[in-house]
Amino acid sequence: MAFHSSVAAPAAPGRYTRTAIAFHWLIALLIVCGFALGWVMTDIPGFTPTKLRYFSWHKWIGVTVFALAVLRILWRATHAAPALPDGMAGWQRVAAQLVHVLLYVLMIAIPASGYLYGSASNIPVVYLGLVRLPLLIAPDPHLKAILKVVHVTLNYGLLTLVVLHVVGALKHQLVDRDGLLSRMIPFLK
């Protein structure tokens, strides 16, 4: 029980909770791995065992990101984020909130579009090689083509937002020196 209570402990003033920080970095790591796998696997010619393995890993990562994103959204709905710095311009506050909302939307939409793309392709997900997940839609070559474009486009949108998010965080750390980044990386000052 000590683990449970330490995970749910309230954050220090101006910082995210340890749970929120863990969700953030775990999901970020999985997204980077999933994007990298997606990039590499689609460039492998033919239908090789390596390509099939990468596709499986990519799908497992997507399912995991989806589940963690749902949990993260539930956590965020019940645990307020720390306040932004007082001196932050209004447009920056709006931009930060918009980017965060879009990141949450894409953490759900990208795995969902990939899952539907797999269903339309008649290729099931066997999570971790153990649990066969149901196909949610019937195989459909026309829908498969559309969902592929949607999945890829959403991923590039996510990449753009992640770059904006990182650049914004670095600007606050290196230029504004307002401690904003230390809310998510507590060892920073």
Check residue 8 and give its pLDDT. Answer: 44
Alpha carbons 115 and 66: distance in angstroms, whole number: 10
For residue 95, give every residue at least 6 positions away whose Cβ sits within 8 Å of its Cβ, in sequence order, or none.
Answer: 168
Q: Within a 10 A sphere around the Cβ of 73, how many other Cβ atoms?
A: 15
Check residue 189 and give its pLDDT. Answer: 60
The CATH number of residue 176's host domain is 1.20.950
Q: How many CA atoms lie within 13 A of 7 on its CB side?
A: 8
Residue 188 lies in a domain: no
Q: Is 126 helix (H, G, I), strand (E, B) or coil?
A: strand
pLDDT tens column, 87-112: 888 999 999 999 999 999 999 999 99
Residue 7 lies in a domain: yes
Check residue 12 and give its pLDDT. Answer: 41
Residue 79 lies in a domain: yes
Mean pLDDT of the chain: 90
Check residue 145 and give its pLDDT. Answer: 97
* Amino acid residing at 147: L
Residue 168 lies in a domain: yes
Check residue 14 and give its pLDDT. Answer: 78
Determine the structural domain holding residue 114 and report its residue range: 2-183
Q: Which residues of the chain have pLDDT under 70?
A: 1-13, 189
Alpha carbons 174 and 113: distance in angstroms, whole number: 37
Alpha carbons 131 and 109: distance in angstroms, whole number: 22
Residue 54 lies in a domain: yes
Residue 189 lies in a domain: no
Q: How many CA atoms lie within 13 A of 103 on its CB side?
A: 20
b (16+ CB within 10 A) / e for 113-138: bbbbbbbbbeeebebeeeeeeebeee
Beta bridge partners of 132: 126
Q: Could you tell me which of 67, 64, 57, 65 has the C-alpha nearest to residue 37?
A: 57
The domain tally of the chain equals 1
Check residue 117 and give its pLDDT. Answer: 97
Residue 78 lies in a domain: yes
Q: How many helices (H) and strands (E) does the chain have?
A: 5, 2
